[in-house]
Amino acid sequence: MKIAITGGTGYVGKNLTKKLTDRGDTVYILTRSPEKYQNTDKVNYVGWLTEGTRPAEELPHLDAIINLAGDSLFGYWTKSKKDRIYQSRINATYEINELIKQMDVKPEVLVSASAVGYFGTSKDETFTEDNTEPGSDFLAEVTTAWEKTALQAKAEGVRTVIARFGVILGSEGALPLMALPFKLYAGGRIGTGDQWLSWIHIKDVAGMIIFAIDNQQVEGPMHVTSPNPVTNKEMSSALAEVLRKPDWLPVPSFILKLFLGEMSILVVKGQKVVPEKAMILGYRFNYPNVREALVEIFK
């Protein structure tokens, strides 16, 4: 297959590209700076979102597009940071739709990233793809607009999948930050520890995206999360066990709110999200349990 990826130079994109090329696919990574990278037989870098670039003229007929582009959520959420988080996602997705419109032969499928933050936060409710009501906080606002923009591809006859990512566990991203206090013998739950963490191993992120590409029954929202979400207290206990460090120093929620501001919602609050669609359609998880996932990452 011939597959284009936006955000392909990021952590998820690099892991996904390797898995795709390992199985024989050819990947075209859309980037603002193609000159920074070296093309290979299986990976090509194509300029976009900068003056003078014409990706529609450089790309072959594509089987699929995967849209992962967006500014990192990490960092203090000033007004300008929140604007970048929002606009980077909406603008990139809009440009993907414009690219599809220019194509004489449309891709069969668009897989566009989103996040479980769509639902807002809750300690009591379990969210599946059947839940349609978005939350009311900033992340819910972002993901609602992001998904609405991506779904415009359906008007071009493109099967559209909204991949709602949970917290991705791997050697980069959130996990190193979560593990650092434990490595310094200062680890523990955050606040009461009863907030939910809907997580996913990086290998299953790539696996589920490829599952969505290959399986024509996958359409609309698909939760890219483990079937076994955990509480913050359970995650802390698993981290301590795997790292062989103590789990004894709870971090009060107000301290994180003080230092992280609004971004603290990512760790102080959460939501219990399960991947019902993928489970029903037969996706086999590499790492369904958090302890197994952590052992693999820290081995």
The domains of the chain, with CATH numbers, are 2-298 (3.40.50.720)
Q: What is the pLDDT of residue 75?
A: 86
Helix (H, G, I), strand (E, B) or coil at 4: strand
CA distance 68 to 71: 10
**CB contact at 8 A, 286 and 201:** yes
pLDDT greater than 90 at residue 257: no
End-to-end CA distance of the chain, in Å?
33
For residue 64 the two structure tokens come to 């699929």
For residue 69 the two structure tokens come to 């582009």
Nearest to 194 by CA among 250, 146, 248: 250
Question: What are the distances in angstroms from CA 144 to CA 132, 137, 202, 212, 267?
Answer: 10, 11, 24, 20, 21
Q: Any residues with CB less than 8 A from the CB of 70 and at least 6 apart, and which?
A: 7, 85, 88, 89, 92, 113, 146
How do residues 95-119 score in pLDDT, each as one tens digit? 999 999 999 999 999 999 999 999 9
Q: What is the pLDDT of residue 81?
A: 95
- The conformation of residue 201, written as its DSSP 8-state character, comes to E
**CB contact at 8 A, 299 and 244:** no
Cα 299 to chain centroid, rounded: 23
For residue 11 the two structure tokens come to 């952590």
Q: What is the pLDDT of residue 289?
A: 98
Cα 140 to chain centroid, rounded: 14
CA distance 3 to 20: 9
Q: Percent of the chain having pLDDT more than 70?
A: 100
- The conformation of residue 14, written as its DSSP 8-state character, comes to H
For residue 76 the two structure tokens come to 């203090």
pLDDT greater than 90 at residue 136: yes
Residue position matching structure tokens 């929202």 = 221
For residue 213 the two structure tokens come to 């590409």
Question: What are the distances in angstroms from CA 148 to CA 53, 112, 157?
Answer: 26, 11, 16
pLDDT greater than 90 at residue 236: yes
Q: What is the pLDDT of residue 24?
A: 97
What average pLDDT does the segment 135-160 reach? 97
For residue 179 the two structure tokens come to 């593990």
Q: What is the pLDDT of residue 254?
A: 85
Amino acid in position 208: M
How do residues 193-227 score in pLDDT, each as one tens digit? 999 999 999 999 999 999 999 999 999 999 999 99
Q: What is the pLDDT of residue 74?
A: 87
**CB contact at 8 A, 187 and 236:** yes
Q: List, as one string, the DSSP characters of 111-171.
A: EEEEEGGGG---SS-EE-TT-----SSHHHHHHHHHHHHHGGGGGGT-EEEEEEE-EEESS
**What's phi and psi for 200, nearest 5 deg?**
-155, 135
Q: List, as one string, the DSSP characters of 20-73.
A: HHHTT-EEEEEES-GGGS---SSEEEEE-SSTT--HHHH----SEEEE-----S
pLDDT greater than 90 at residue 253: no
64-67 and 159-165 strand pairing: unpaired
pTM: 0.95
Average pLDDT, the chain: 95
pLDDT greater than 90 at residue 263: no
